Amino acid sequence: MPGLFITFEGGDGSGKSTQSALLVEWLQALGHGVVVSREPGGTDVGLELRQLVLHWRGEIAPRAEALIYAADRAHNIATKVRPALERGEIVVQDRYLDSSVAYQGAGRVLGAQEVRDLSLWATDGLLPDLTVLLDLREGSDRLADRTLYDRLEAAGDDFHARVSEAYLELAAAEPERFLVLDARDTIENIASAIRSRVETLLRPAP
């Protein structure tokens, strides 16, 4: 497809929205057509599903939850993202299938591969050209640092620790798709690293 699909991933509070807004501003200033989306909730149907999955009072069975995220994703990709990519535009999106693998996988009920396969079925196999991961770990080599990981687990922060760890495993498995940046760096340093990487993927604006 002629367009470019860029996604942002990271834990809650990693600065995704700030960085995606800065990137969008920069791309528009260069004259590119940009479509902004997010998951869950990038479309009208998606807003209903977002309300359901994030604000339902009570339990949602893990498979049902995974399917709601996948349904939101299917509709977002089919009706908004693919058409924009076919028009040659740049889609900048907060969260995509890596969120499902990291978050739904971190619940320990569903396996990473089945969650990923579900998303790939939902989207007919669409993967981003670039995924920016804003990494919130305490220290850049925490994956290797079992002591810190165990401490986070003991502190009851285990779900978020598993999400961060899952993200890093995804990035390590697809290094060409991921740009991993330290979320605690300055806003300007992060924005500039993102622009440098995106620049290598851009075609001249029409």
Part of the chain binding ligand TYD (CB under 6 A), chosen from 93-101, 171-179, 184-192, 194-202? 93-101
Structure tokens at 193: 């690293």
Determine, following the binding rule CB under 6 A, whether residue 99 of this chain makes contact with ligand TYD: yes
Determine, following the binding rule CB under 6 A, whether residue 95 of this chain makes contact with ligand TYD: yes
Nearest to 171 by CA among 124, 123, 137: 137
Write down the least CB distance from residue 189 to ligand TYD, Å: 22
Q: At what angle do helices 146-154 and 158-173 cross, to 10 degrees?
A: 140
Tell me which of 3, 40, 46, 105 binds ligand TYD, using CB under 6 A.
Answer: 40
Of 70 and 85, the one with the shorter C-beta distance to ligand TYD is: 70
96, 131 Cβ separation under 8 angstroms = yes
**Helices and strands, counts by H and E, the chain:** 10, 5
Write down the least CB distance from residue 39 to ligand TYD, Å: 4
Helix ranges restricted to H, 124-177 = 146-154, 158-173
Of 21 and 30, the one with the shorter C-beta distance to ligand TYD is: 21
Determine, following the binding rule CB under 6 A, whether residue 103 of this chain makes contact with ligand TYD: yes
Is residue 181 classed as helix, strand or coil in its secondary structure? strand
Sites of contact with ligand TYD (CB under 6 A): 12, 38-40, 54, 69, 94-95, 99-100, 103-104
